[in-house]
Every structure is written in C-alpha cells, then in structure tokens.
Amino acid sequence: MAPEQPTERPVAPDAAADPKAMFSSFVQLGIVVRDLDRTVKVLSEVFGLGPFRFVDYPPAGRDDIQLTYRGEPANFSHRIAFANLGPIELELVQPTTGPSGITEFLDRHGEGIQHIRFNVPDLEPVMTHMAEQGIGEIMSGSGIRPGTRWVHLDTEGIIGFCIEVMNVLPGTSGRTPVMETRL
C-alpha cells in the first residue's frame, strides 16, 4: 500500500487585513518526547502510524540558521520525526542540546502535547498582533526549508499549550521536506 499523500493545506489569509484570520490553517500537532526512537517504534508497530520523516535540527551544513530562546540568541538542537495524519502533520520532538522551549516544557510537564502550528504567509503582522495582545515569544528559528521561519508563542499560561506560527513560501504546502524516511 502506498503511503498516504499529504493533503494540501492552505496558508491563512492575509493577516494584515484581519490578524485573527491567520489562525484558519491548523497544520501540525507538536509532541515533546524523551526518547524519539522508542516513541516512533510504538506508534509504528502498535498503531500503524508512519512512515516518519526524520530531521536533526538545526540541519547540518546550514550556516544561515538563527535561533532565539526567551528573547536571546540561542544554541539548541532537537531530533524530530514527522508523520502525516490525514491533513495534520504529527511532529515528535526530542531535545538534544541546550535550553529551549522544548526542554522547558519537558522539565515542567514531562512528555506531551506542546504546540499546535498554523501556517501564515507573513510573520510580521502576526507578531504585531500578538504583541498588541501582550503575547511574546518562547523561541524561534529559521525553518528547515530555507526562507522560512517559525515562532513558538508564549501562550501556555493563557490557553494551556503553545501556539506555533510559521511563514510558508509561495508554491509550497508548508509540510516538512523529506530528509530521511523510515517506518
């Protein structure tokens, strides 16, 4: 049986016109784990999920990656696995080095759902709207796909989990590019 093809997810409408409209394109569920290999094995063997796409973040050989954590330049890394669950992308994240929003979540809560992600065409109006609401950043970074950037918003205290926004390049689905795939 061929793997399910990802369903194309639209990018949110122009956030400058209506900043709340940017949250119409929910595309990802992010879960923090301590042992990525164990989690992927159970999800594959017991629940039949996969195939999974694996990424070491930041990707090797990319000197353009910029990271922040709590408003300061940062140096953290994560192992990440992605799988398509219908129109939603499942992201499993294991922190490997340095403090980040992921290590903060793991220390505070243990493993679990940490964020949901929305794709937007432009981060600037999103971040302006968030600042007007008193919502700042936990962490941010250059995307796996060159030219993209993601931001984890500091929303856990007001809604119980983090909101992630990522700008998506025109002509792309916003899905994570295939790096290494396995079941």
Q: Is residue 6 part of a domain?
A: no
Q: Which region, left, alpha or beta, applies to residue 174 given φ > 0 means left and ψ of -120 to 50 means alpha?
A: left
Task: Provide the pLDDT for residue 13.
Answer: 53
Is residue 160 one of the residues assigned to a domain?
yes
Task: Give me the chain's average pLDDT, please.
Answer: 87
At 30-65, the pLDDT tens digits run 999 999 999 999 999 999 999 999 999 999 888 899
At residue 14 the predicted structure's pLDDT band, cuts being 50, 70 and 90, is low
Please indicate, yes or no, if residue 1 is contained in any of the structural domains: no
- Say how far apart CA 168 and CA 45 lie, in whole Å: 33
Cβ-Cβ contacts under 8 Å for 34 (sequence gap 6 or more): 94, 106, 111
CATH number of domain containing 104: 3.10.180.10
Measured CA distances, 183 to 81, 101, 109 (Å)? 11, 28, 28
My answer on whether omega of the bond before 58 falls inside 30° of 0, hence cis, is yes
Domain membership flag for residue 162: yes
Domain that includes residue 163, residue range: 19-168
**pLDDT for 178:** 56
* pLDDT score recorded for residue 70: 97
**Nearest C-alpha neighbor of 104 from the set 38, 7, 32:** 32
Question: Which structure tokens are listed for 65?
Answer: 């990656």
The pLDDT score that the predictor gives to residue 141 is: 96
pTM for the whole structure: 0.87
Residue 174 has pLDDT above 80, yes or no: no
Contacts of 75 (CB under 8 A, 6+ apart): 67, 97, 98
Please indicate, yes or no, if residue 5 is contained in any of the structural domains: no
Amino acid letter, residue 158: I
Domain assignment of residue 124, yes or no: yes
Report the domain count for the chain. 1
Tell me the pLDDT band of 5, cut-offs 50, 70 and 90: very low
Q: According to the model, what pLDDT value does residue 7 have? A: 45
Q: Determine the pLDDT at residue 58.
A: 95
- For 118-170, how does the pLDDT look when each residue is reduced to its tens digit (9 = 90+)? 998 889 999 999 999 999 999 999 998 888 999 999 999 999 999 999 998 77
- What's residue 93's pLDDT? 98
Q: What is the model's pLDDT at position 158?
A: 96
